[in-house]
Amino acid sequence: MTDTSSAERAKSFARSRRGPILGAIFLMATSAIGPGFITQTATFTAQLGAAFAFAILASILIDFALQMNVWRMITVAGKRAGDLANEAVPFSGHVLATLIVIGGLAFNIGNIAGAGLGLNALLGLDPKLGGLLSALLAIGIFMYKRAGRVVDMVVLALGLLMIGLTLFVAIASQPPVGDALRQTFVPDTLNFATITTIVGGTVGGYITYAGAHRYLDSGLVGPDHVPAVHRASMSGILVTGIMRYVLFLAILGVVASGVTLDFSSQAANPAGQAFGAVLGDAGIRIFGAIFWAAAITSVIGAAYTSATFISTFSKKLGTGWPLQVATVAFILVSLVLYLLIGAAPAAILVFVGGFNGLILPIGMTIFMYVGWFRQRDVLHGYRYPLWLLALGTLATLLSWYMGIVSIGPIFAFIGIGA
């Protein structure tokens, strides 16, 4: 009887943790494949053609090196990134939290802009009205008392929908797969600003920590649960990697056919134009639904993760209703700023990716310091794999280099500097 009861409790515990784990995987994936990444992919594929495949590969490799370290350190330590950083280097967590919240705010303005573009393509609504309605929907989700479970269900369902329909369009667009595969490894052109922007749009800023922070809610923390977090982080990286490349192929097929995309007008939606070129009016509307799904899940991810960093300044905001209120307030501030900004939505979406790419190396430097020098105390004596630390360090150094050489071009996306 006791053995049976223990087995049932174990199964019940596993089921109760399945939702947060899947939520963590898809929160990472849908945050990484948001409207910023989709718009950046359309923009840069139109500019570089098949050579952009190299930037996709670079983003996947950097993603692997950074996310594997972030997920493992956060869950082994059992602390969110800001608290972990503060324990390792006093006040560094506050600096990191400030940068993440600023970057998350910039990203969430872009996410709300993306939601507006999605509803514009789907229903013909004015982009700003669409952004307003989408932000209000996200607020409604977080006002619900069991918001965590709702978030997990929403990001899982919409993530699967995005993957399925993008794969369909990629097949329909008939891209030059051979040329894309060749230039994945040997590109005809190389542009560090492009790589930094795409890495920032799919790895940088709050995205680096979204899945790991949600994974903490599963309760599977500490050194004993390293195999579980390893599987979860690998699953998230695999999902986002496949989605990145499939989206690139879908747009490459359109660009290679000679279609010219519009990037200049206020309501320009270059990725939507690409899907419309494949499927006509129905394609524009279907893509509008996908783009909106990418945007609303990214609004959720950016707001939730940024709010968990706000809790670095006050533990009272760390869990439960206070965390939900902080998340709602973050969305409201993002919405107001979006409604006041006059820049073209597509320009916002490209710029914020680059901006978060500049924040990325700062946080990763702190994490690499923890991995190399603070295993005994911060990581509870866990013996960290040297190969993973080496990969993370190389990726961090690369992100520093790319950020430094790309500052000017990134700010030029919105007309600042040259």
- DSSP track, 92-145: HHHHHHHHHHHHHHHHHHHHHHHHHHHHHHHH---HHHHHHHHHHHHHHHHHST
Which of 97-106, 120-129, 142-151, 361-370 is least confident? 142-151
Q: Supply the pLDDT for residue 13.
A: 45
Q: Which residue has the higher pLDDT, 390 or 359?
A: 390
pLDDT of residue 10: 43
pLDDT at 1: 47
Give CA–CA dist 70/211, Å, rounded: 10
pLDDT for the residue 398: 86
Mean per-residue pLDDT, 46-59? 88
The pLDDT assigned to 134 comes to: 93
Q: 9-24 burial, b if ≥16 CB within 10 A, otherwise e? A: eeeeeeeebebbbbbb
**In the prediction, which pLDDT does 194 show?**
79
Residue 164: CB atoms within 10 A of its CB come to 10
| Confidence category of residue 269, pLDDT binned at 50, 70, 90 | low
- Across all residues in the chain, what is the average pLDDT? 82
Structure tokens at 126: 């004015």
Tell which wins on pLDDT, 42 or 318.
Answer: 42
Interval 175-198 mean pLDDT: 85
H-assigned helices in 257-344:
270-310, 320-340
Tokens of 41: 């992919």
Using DSSP's 3-state secondary structure scheme, residue 262 falls into: coil
Which pLDDT belongs to residue 340? Answer: 85
* 318 has pLDDT over 70: no
pTM above 0.95, yes or no: no
What pLDDT, on the 0 to 100 scale, is given for residue 72?
Answer: 93
Query: Residue 262 corresponds to which amino acid?
Result: D
User: What average pLDDT does this structure show over 10-19?
Assistant: 52
Please tell me the predicted confidence (pLDDT) of residue 332: 94
- pLDDT number for residue 333: 93
Query: What pLDDT score was predicted for residue 7?
Result: 47
Q: What is the pLDDT of residues 235-250, one digit of tens each?
A: 888 888 888 888 899 8
pLDDT of residue 286: 81
Confidence category of residue 386, pLDDT binned at 50, 70, 90: very high
Q: Where are the domains of the chain?
A: 22-413
pLDDT at 267: 53
pLDDT per position as a tens digit, 194-223:
777 777 667 777 888 888 888 887 778 888
Q: In this structure, which CATH number among 3.40.50.970, 1.10.530.10, 3.40.50.300, 1.20.1740.10 belongs to the domain 22-413?
A: 1.20.1740.10
Q: What is the DSSP letter of 258?
A: T
Q: Which of 87-101, 208-222, 333-347 has the lowest mean pLDDT?
A: 333-347
Over 60: is that where the pLDDT of 343 sits?
A: no
Per-residue model confidence as pLDDT tens digits over 353-367 = 666 767 788 889 999
